Structure 1
Amino acid sequence: MQDIVIRKATKEDLPLLLHAEQELIKNERPFDPTFTPEQFCYYDLPGMMASEEAEVLIAELDGVFAGCGNARIKTGMPYNRFERYAFLGGMYVVPEHRGKGIIQSIIGELKKWAAAKGLDEVRLQVYSENVAAIKAYEKVGFQQMLVEMRVK
């Protein structure tokens, strides 16, 4: 049996994290026609890793990088019942390790981090056409709430 280890990312992990972020963007490009054709980043990973308001995690399977994810503390809207919440992002699993419970393990640890910060609201965004990701998130209790729409 393979052992999944979830740990806090270090600066030595930055090249792996940046590569994973580009793979995530590559996977999401077909879902978003508004992406610029140039390379870009979703996150300030070094800043997040240095912040008390964010957590960046690495998943290892038998000692090898298998995925990652992060959480940031965000401020709720004045009409929300909560002042602050944890917003999850950067969820990525190496293709050959998908379906092994890695994303569920990462989310479990990020939820623990959020609880330790006094946050009981945890949210994320996923493209409506990304059925595999939606199923993975629903497995750990997330529910669909909102569909963002656009017109060109």
Structure 2
Amino acid sequence: MKKSLLAVIVGAFAFASIANANIYAEGDIGLSQTKANGSNNTRVEPRVAVGYKLGNTRVAGDYTHHGKVDGAKIHGLGASVLYDFDTNSKVQPYVGARVAANQFKYDNRANQVYKSSSETKIGYGVVAGAKYKLDGNWYANGGVEYNRLGSFDNTKVNNYGAKVGVGYGF
């Protein structure tokens, strides 16, 4: 009985903290450059994220389509921790760190034989930017980022970019 009561109390506190959190969703698009093996690929890169805010700290999960580099299509599922600086104005700068599982998918066609393979690499990154409060719960977002998408033997895959987007706080 005591364990059940303790579980109910802990669950109630956990639910209350999530219910009071400010959940948000945002979408960004920007110009990014991915470097690997001395080659550079500059392209438009979309990202969507869902997260919640507790005080000045935000935690988010995201999906990013990094595009194609050296014959590999790269997609990432990431988690970010961001800190919003309180400026008491419509502009709110932020900094953050990101960890992601990035999938590198290769399609090989040789001698009429099709072969597909993929590898998942753990990557990390940093981000900095600012949000601008629009009407109601909407905001505009702009930022720069660096991501190490993964390493293969002696090859490091790095991604640099600048993005703009919009977000909505629920």
More helix, by proportion: 1
> Radius of gyration: which is bigger?
2
More strand, by proportion: 2
- Using the size of structure 1 for normalisation, the TM-score is 0.30
